[in-house]
Structure 1
């Protein structure tokens, strides 16, 4: 039973009584301070300190960060409603080298895979291959993919008048525009299509449950407030209506055989305030027909291809198709494409225990040419690639949080960089304008932003609080373990770097007396321990340098050749009758020859003319990043802690080291 306690609000907007498990942390005035376990100290510059940055550098990074992100926000505000920057209306821009799932999956359990990297081996130039073994092809960290979910995710509708684009809107002149039409309805359609395709890979049948909408017979359209009424006139496919009655039911209307739940399964129970309403059907779907029809008791649910036909029929009927942009700078995001992004984010919502929240759509009957919707079939054809990243929420977490990473920002300057970002996007977060934030991200890192777009389209405003917390603490959710640490495999898949580990190191250090940047040393150490899962990787660039003569000899060959690590392919290990079978996947770009290259990240910092007064800057991001760098410096190429901290910092008594367990 759900208890109703408290209110939910965004900024200064209206509030309402909501279920206690739907209440996000405050998104109002509390955004000006960080609560929880954060350190209240501020970052104060110091001259000639081994760890603490100078005041001049702090001011420079803050001002340039503010200029950079202000530019992104201004670009986002220039776009028309429901649009994205040109080139981003095609979801395949997210794929690059993402591997496809195997064509045959086990029905239950987990699927395991790992990357294969090229790492130069200068000491074995003459004997690199021995049969299938190649000393320069190195396997990386293993990933386990869970092939089922504990149950379908429950979505809700809101009849609130201020519940609009992606979330709760504030009562202001900057009120977000209306959402793409029918995004809730179409997300449920995609939820089924993706699940059906996944079930086909598993050799599993889907079945209807006893839950379904009973169509109403009416000669005239139903005019019912706070509901979503769909009316169909004869002739209409009985299978099509039966499918809609199942996927739009207020309780799960379909599942895998033997009751299995697919990771993308969802249903919509109606208005989240139903228990307080006189009408228990508020926010639910209603289907009306002009003539009665009967459903056979053993009619099987449609395949993924048949359901795609039904989706196109539905979009054609209600005019839910693509629209042309008014200029070459933006593309209007069509409702079925927006819903596709949202459906891909469902496993992430499952993992972080969020409930999707949609506004009640206002559907307008108008027909369009079904030929305009043919690109949707390509989405289904490519589903094995989309599902790979969608199915692994922690890997997706590393992708989405890399939106804030900046290549040249050193560990001890993370605080002013993140503080600058927060100073710019804080008003957007306070107003809960998820649409504007998604567009801002799209100008920053397009391939990453589209995953954020899917998360935002599911409508729960809680991730806004996580963003605010992350920008002040480097940890988005206290007590849950951060999903932000970088993943070199995910960076290669998506084509957007996440850390200094993804840099190309081209310089050769041939002399014993060469000064080697700490970033290059730590990157090579990482490359020699690619299977290590005991420690979290470091995102931000390490500062300082060492003489080559003080670096362990195992690193010298790689320091001298200057050849970077390179991603080759992905290997799945699939359970079969004959045991584990290796399935090698080269990735989307190599498999299909398709990849959109003209949507690059914008990682250049805008130089600021004024490096004057800055806001109060929290200490904790810079301090924690620097201490993590110290921990990495103490670990040699074999994984042993072999260095003396005084050799790294110059002293064992630096104030940032007080209470640090890395000294133990």
Structure 2
């Protein structure tokens, strides 16, 4: 392992795992804010071909090296439709406003996610990379052949640095959260009466924790609301204001001032002497304008710390009876605190997709002040582990790779993506047509709970334009026309969360000891990735099809294919810029740090054809008019061809694809090296 680096080591004498062009020991450079662009994300050209002369539908062919047979297309379409119809029927049987188990526990998101560093300078970006252990078959052989290199001069070729990731810490503007009285009834039913205010509270806590890590003080701005006397409440209501009643002896001045800052139509707080804001910074926009009434003797207070704000959040819950707790049953309801926490964690994802959060107008009634330990306990738990949740939340591209993996199926070949997605869309079309995002989350939760929890956050932020993205993805394998796709797999996201969503995330292939045994392309690509972990992450989720004769594979990779190989995530390394140097900070991750992790969260990725319920599915499910579009299969197949043409060093060679007849294939007209 690491053979590509030997020349560098021999020339420089520097035994550091460092690929050509790697700058992981340097401070991160500033880049533009998140670009919804494939080339920016992966540094390679978008694969594609000339579609003008091709049919819009996938038409099967017998004996073609790339196009699947008509029988395979029909089989995969039917399997997909039956599988997703099963989950639709199961979701219809759930009690109203409830979800399958696990969706009330955000800790299912954390497996080996590293925390943010305990200290950071006020930089725009934070850079880091994973460390992998890739076993070397020659290492074990050398150990059995007597003495060789001593421990003092041994070179570790099995520890490999992974792809560098850069997280954006500052943005130009806050996220505007709109209020609307015309949201769908299911949204009104599931989200609590104070969901907007709770989400703004969590967004503040997340933002201020980041500022505390950067040692940046927080101040209230002149845009923060000013509290009114209780006698002015009637006049304010006549003016169309939504009045929040914070009068009474049991209400703290800190809570009054804090809510005045959160509910301002302009950002009522910010980092001192800073024009930019953290990723979660949000303000209250829309048609509804808030007003706060309080006692006449409300004192001026400083903005709360993240810990103090969590106490104020609990006080607000007690004041307005938002003290429900998560239920631990097989079907669960989600407490207001947990719902708002997941919504706040999803805000950077919304920012990336340029979606505006939409909230129902709060309808709050004062209750007798009584601090309930239920919500207090939940808030304390989340705040204690906040740095882990924050790392994942401010990695919206990784979140996107997980979000769209809800449709991924491990055994589907790249050229059969179109019928799989078409069958999925056929089963989900009634749900999408009804604009019932809650039902969609229930369906997803029955299939992939760790993925569905992010969809719950998307749903709780209320913008139903995401349904358009779902339909387009299932039709075209992209979420938005002309913008490429963020639904590309991330091996870092897989290492952090354990959510498998690509062929290269599969368990290690079995050894190919028989020289005459052909090597599956999926296994070959798995091995080649191990030599390019620092350079790129292969953006191919779907399984490569076919086999390659061993004599057609570069000799350098034979030992790993013959003896087998293990690839294991070890740790995460942050690079923290301090003046002209970069300090290395290593983090093992949540599970290793705390000894806590939610285990055995099942994915139901098998096709449950034999157990499909006999309940009525609907007319659309039996329709024979579904269209299997060409583009998803062709896009995934060309991406497969592209990466199968790269050897273990990343060098392109057409002969490596070992696909007879593709040079003149109609799918490759006008594409790259075949032009």
Fold match, TM over 0.5? yes
In structure 1, what is the equivalent of residue 244 of structure 2? 230
Could you tell me how far apart the structure 2 residues matched to 1:229 and 1:129 are? 72
Could you tell me how far apart the structure 2 residues matched to 1:614 and 1:507 are? 42
Q: Does residue 190 in structure 1 map to residue 202 in structure 2?
A: yes
Could you tell me how far apart the structure 2 residues matched to 1:131 and 1:150 are? 50
In structure 2, what is the equivalent of residue 41 of structure 1? 56
In structure 2, what is the equivalent of residue 653 of structure 1? 664
> Could you tell which deviates more after superposition, 613-622 or 399-408?
613-622
User: Offset of 1:178 from its aligned partner?
Assistant: 4.8
In structure 2, what is the equivalent of residue 340 of structure 1? 341
Partner of 1:449, secondary structure, is helix
Is contact 1:499–1:538 with CA below 8 Å preserved after alignment? yes
Q: Does residue 262 in structure 1 map to residue 274 in structure 2?
A: no
In structure 2, what is the equivalent of residue 287 of structure 1? 292
Could you tell me how far apart the structure 2 residues matched to 1:428 and 1:129 are? 62
In structure 2, what is the equivalent of residue 87 of structure 1? 102
Q: Does residue 158 in structure 1 map to residue 188 in structure 2?
A: no
Partner of 1:556, secondary structure, is helix
Could you tell me how far apart the structure 2 residues matched to 1:129 and 1:537 are? 38
> Could you tell which deviates more after superposition, 78-87 or 198-207?
78-87
CA 1:517/1:257 → structure 2, altered by over 3 Å: closer, same or farther? same
Pairwise CA RMSD of aligned residues?
Answer: 2.5
Partner of 1:113, secondary structure, is strand
After TM superposition, list the pairs within 5 Å mapping 1:112-151 onto structure 2: 112-125=127-140, 126=143, 134-151=156-173
Could you tell me how far apart the structure 2 residues matched to 1:152 and 1:128 are? 57
Is contact 1:646–1:652 with CA below 8 Å preserved after alignment? no
Could you tell me how far apart the structure 2 residues matched to 1:219 and 1:536 are? 64
Q: Does residue 636 in structure 1 map to residue 642 in structure 2?
A: no
Partner of 1:216, secondary structure, is coil
CA 1:653/1:377 → structure 2, altered by over 3 Å: closer, same or farther? same
Could you tell me how far apart the structure 2 residues matched to 1:596 and 1:625 are? 33
Partner of 1:285, secondary structure, is strand
Q: Does residue 204 in structure 1 map to residue 216 in structure 2?
A: yes
CA 1:330/1:646 → structure 2, altered by over 3 Å: closer, same or farther? closer
> Could you tell which deviates more after superposition, 358-367 or 446-455?
358-367
Could you tell me how far apart the structure 1 residues matched to 2:550 and 2:160 are? 25
Could you tell me how far apart the structure 1 residues matched to 2:391 and 2:58 are? 40
Is contact 1:62–1:614 with CA below 8 Å preserved after alignment? no
User: Offset of 1:78 from its aligned partner?
Assistant: 2.5
Could you tell me how far apart the structure 2 residues matched to 1:220 and 1:415 are? 62
CA 1:395/1:401 → structure 2, altered by over 3 Å: closer, same or farther? same
1:563-588: CA deviations, max 9, x gaps? 23111111101123682111111111
Is contact 1:228–1:362 with CA below 8 Å preserved after alignment? no
Among 109, 115, 119, which residue is 1:104 paired with? 119
Partner of 2:266, secondary structure, is coil
User: Offset of 1:228 from its aligned partner?
Assistant: 3.9
In structure 1, what is the equivalent of residue 488 of structure 2? 485
Is contact 1:59–1:611 with CA below 8 Å preserved after alignment? no
Could you tell me how far apart the structure 2 residues matched to 1:163 and 1:541 are? 39
CA 1:646/1:507 → structure 2, altered by over 3 Å: closer, same or farther? closer
Partner of 2:211, secondary structure, is helix
Is contact 2:553–2:656 with CA below 8 Å preserved after alignment? no
User: Offset of 1:645 from its aligned partner?
Assistant: 7.7
> Could you tell which deviates more after superposition, 585-594 or 44-53?
44-53
Among 228, 251, 262, which residue is 2:266 paired with? 251
In structure 1, what is the equivalent of residue 476 of structure 2? 473
In structure 1, what is the equivalent of residue 450 of structure 2? 447
Partner of 2:654, secondary structure, is coil
Show structure 1 runs of 5+ residues with no match. 1-36, 167-175, 272-282
1:543-575: CA deviations, max 9, x gaps? 000111221112111112222311111110112
CA 1:590/1:156 → structure 2, altered by over 3 Å: closer, same or farther? same
Could you tell me how far apart the structure 1 residues matched to 2:470 and 2:673 are? 28
Q: Does residue 663 in structure 1 map to residue 674 in structure 2?
A: yes
After TM superposition, list the pairs within 5 Å mapping 1:446-525 onto structure 2: 446-525=449-528
Is contact 1:165–1:178 with CA below 8 Å preserved after alignment? yes
In structure 1, what is the equivalent of residue 330 of structure 2? 329
User: Offset of 1:499 from its aligned partner?
Assistant: 0.3
Is contact 2:406–2:444 with CA below 8 Å preserved after alignment? yes
Could you tell me how far apart the structure 2 residues matched to 1:157 and 1:454 are? 17
Could you tell me how far apart the structure 1 residues matched to 2:237 and 2:90 are? 40
Could you tell me how far apart the structure 2 residues matched to 1:64 and 1:41 are? 22
Is contact 2:644–2:657 with CA below 8 Å preserved after alignment? no
Could you tell me how far apart the structure 1 residues matched to 2:253 and 2:70 are? 71
After TM superposition, list the pairs within 5 Å mapping 1:397-412 onto structure 2: 397-412=400-415
Could you tell me how far apart the structure 2 residues matched to 1:286 and 1:131 are? 70
CA 1:507/1:94 → structure 2, altered by over 3 Å: closer, same or farther? same
User: Offset of 1:74 from its aligned partner?
Assistant: 2.1
Could you tell me how far apart the structure 2 residues matched to 1:139 and 1:41 are? 42
User: Offset of 1:510 from its aligned partner?
Assistant: 1.4
After TM superposition, list the pairs within 5 Å mapping 1:292-303 onto structure 2: 292-296=296-300, 299-303=301-305
Partner of 1:328, secondary structure, is coil
> Could you tell which deviates more after superposition, 232-241 or 120-129?
120-129
CA 1:132/1:478 → structure 2, altered by over 3 Å: closer, same or farther? farther
Could you tell me how far apart the structure 1 residues matched to 2:253 and 2:365 are? 23
Partner of 2:658, secondary structure, is helix
Is contact 1:227–1:284 with CA below 8 Å preserved after alignment? yes
1:70-106: CA deviations, max 9, x gaps? 1222222233333321222111111111111111011
In structure 2, what is the equivalent of residue 537 of structure 1? 539
Is contact 2:412–2:543 with CA below 8 Å preserved after alignment? yes
Partner of 1:649, secondary structure, is coil
Partner of 2:273, secondary structure, is helix
Among 157, 181, 191, which residue is 2:193 paired with? 181
Could you tell me how far apart the structure 1 residues matched to 2:561 and 2:189 are? 54
Could you tell me how far apart the structure 1 residues matched to 2:155 and 2:429 are? 53
Among 625, 629, 633, which residue is 1:618 paired with? 629
Could you tell me how far apart the structure 1 residues matched to 2:521 and 2:649 are? 17
Q: How many residues align structurally?
A: 602
User: Offset of 1:218 from its aligned partner?
Assistant: 2.2
Could you tell me how far apart the structure 2 residues matched to 1:521 and 1:614 are? 38
In structure 1, what is the equivalent of residue 638 of structure 2? 627
User: Offset of 1:615 from its aligned partner?
Assistant: 2.3
In structure 2, what is the equivalent of residue 362 of structure 1? 363
Is contact 2:645–2:657 with CA below 8 Å preserved after alignment? no
Partner of 2:261, secondary structure, is helix
Is contact 1:129–1:135 with CA below 8 Å preserved after alignment? no
> Could you tell which deviates more after superposition, 37-46 or 232-241?
37-46
Q: Does residue 61 in structure 1 map to residue 73 in structure 2?
A: no
Partner of 1:584, secondary structure, is strand
CA 1:564/1:607 → structure 2, altered by over 3 Å: closer, same or farther? farther
Could you tell me how far apart the structure 2 residues matched to 1:426 and 1:572 are? 43
Is contact 1:589–1:595 with CA below 8 Å preserved after alignment? yes
